[in-house]
Structure formats: C-alpha cells, structure tokens
Amino acid sequence: MFSATIGAHAAQVDTVEIFSASMHKSIRCIVIRPDDYCFTGERYPVLYLLHGWSGNYGGWLTEAPQLRRHADREQMLIVCPDGGYDSWYVDSPVDSTVRYETHISKEVVQFVDYYYYTRQEPGGRAIAGLSMGGHGAMSLAIRHPEVFGAAGSMAGGLDLRPWKSNNWDLKGVLGDPELFWSNWEQFSVVNLVSRLKSLKMPLIIDCGTGDFFIEGNREMHRRLLEAAYPHEYTERPGEHNGAYWGSAVDFQVLFFAKFFEKSKR
C-alpha cells in the first residue's frame, strides 16, 4: 500500500505498508525519494535509517527534516523502517513474535528493491541508526554483509551487557540475563568485531561525551583498533537526545554518499 506526500521542489516522501510474513502483520515505512526520481538512468543507492527505542518509522523525518535535502542533493533513497517499540532489531530467541532482523534485512529490502529503482548490491546499500537503531544497524550489517555494504551508529547502544537492569525491556527480547546470559553476549555488537575480519565494510560511529552509552561506544572503538579494522569514530559534546543525532546524521549521510560513489567504480 502506498500513500505519497509531495513537497514543491523537495524530496518526495512515500508512506508504505510492508507485509511481514515472519510476524504476520503489515508494518509501515517511509521512503524519501529525490524530487527528480525516475526509473531511467542510474539506479539509486539506498540508505536505511533505523529509529531508537520507543520510536517509530516517522521519527527520523521529524527530528531531521533536512533528510529531504540530503536525498535530493546526494541522489539517494532514504528508507526509514519501523522496528517496533523495543525490538532492538533482533530475531528474539525467547519471543517468536519478534523478528525484526528478518523484517529489516529481508522483507523491507526486498520490498524496496521490487518497487523502487535501486542499486541491488551491498555497494548500493548502507544502514545506520540512533540509539537502539545504532545497535540494530551495526548488528544487521555485520550479520548480513551480503545485503548491506556499510554501517553507522549514532548514540548507539553497542554493548547490551551492562544494562541488565534497565527500562528498555531487553529481557523481553533476550531473556532473563540470569538464565540466558549467552543471548546478551551473542547479541551485543561489541562481540561481533571478530566477524569483520574477512570484510571490508566501512563503519562510522558517533556518540556524545555526555551520553550514557558512551562507554559501550568506546569499547567498540577499542576493539576495532585492537583488530586493526579501519573505521570512523567521533566523540563530541552532547547527550542522548534528538539534538545530537539530528546533527550527527548530516555527517553520516556524507560518509555514505562517498561510499556509494566509490563503490560504483
């Protein structure tokens, strides 16, 4: 199902519904298209942007309305899927109704590639996100390098292990840490660095120095340095809020635009 909102001389925004066979329901998603988008010429690269905990598919466009300009200027599609209230973008090992890893990496990507004029290879797809979405983007890219060619995190929860007591319902998707600690280890992005050994996936990580997730970001940076894995890492003054990732996304869009251009060669 499609509905479109069109602004004069600005990117076009489609609100679509994607049926999830893995979760037996339709899930909304936003697709931002360049104003001159057409089905001729070069295919468009796609940047997938994931929202944070308690957010939804419309959050990015609210907090970063400049994404319309970015889509126009960089000639890319920007797709904002819905990851549920508190899914952490995983296929939960304890709740069979939570299958957001499958939804994003397969169902959403397949829908976008079917209905839009896209580059259909990892070099034409990048994924990034804020907070819970930062975790999701890095995890999905590392677990599915055949789908995504680059990944980014803004204020991401990259190490879930310190948050056994939290208000984000991690227990709901990972299980009680006293009984299912291996899930907490397995799904923490910091523990996926070893999987990057055979990859050449560009990564960009950005977190505020006043953010409660800063230590997890520093741990990810440390492990990437230890593995001698090239990546972009930035700490700037800021806290865990929309003002931070609303500006961080500008740097990440440029990072991915360069990746898309380079990957065409």
3-state secondary structure labels for all residues of 147-183:
CCCEEEEECCCCCCHHHCCCCCCHHHHHCCCCCCHHH
Main-chain dihedrals φ then ψ at residue 147, nearest 5 degrees: -110, -50
Cα-based distances in Å from 124 to 45, 120, 159: 5, 6, 28
**Amino acid 119: pLDDT:** 98
Distance (Å, whole) CA 13 – CA 173 = 32
Chain Cα centroid distance, residue 185: 20
Residue 221 CA to residue 234 CA, distance in Å, equals 10
pTM of the model as a whole: 0.95
The predicted structure's pLDDT at residue 198: 87
Which residue segment(s) compose the domain that 18 sits in? 2-263
Phi-psi region of 9 (alpha: psi -120 to 50; beta: other; left: phi over 0): left
Question: What is the number of other CB atoms lying within 10 angstroms of the CB of residue 28?
Answer: 16
Helix axes 67-74, 242-263, angle to 10 degrees: 10
- How far, in Å, are 21, 115, 118 from residue 17 at the CA level? 13, 12, 18
pLDDT score at 2 = 53
Q: How far is CA 180 from the centre of its chain?
A: 26
pLDDT at 7 (0 to 100): 47
- CB–CB of 264/123 below 8 Å? yes
* Number of folded domains that form the chain: 1
What are the strands, taking DSSP E only, across 25-119? 25-33, 46-50, 77-81
Strand partners, 33: 12
User: With the CA atoms of 55, 57, 63 and 66 taken in that order, what torsion angle do they form, in degrees rounded to the nearest 10?
Assistant: 160
CATH number of the domain where residue 143 is located: 3.40.50.1820
Q: What is the pLDDT along the chain (265 residues), one digit of tens a residue?
A: 555 554 445 789 999 999 999 999 999 999 999 999 999 999 999 999 999 999 999 999 999 999 999 999 999 999 999 999 999 999 999 999 999 999 999 999 999 999 999 999 999 999 999 999 999 999 999 999 999 999 999 999 999 999 988 778 899 999 999 999 999 999 999 999 999 988 999 999 999 999 999 999 999 999 999 999 999 999 999 999 999 999 999 999 999 999 999 998 7
Identity of the amino acid at 29: C
CA distance 37 to 87: 32
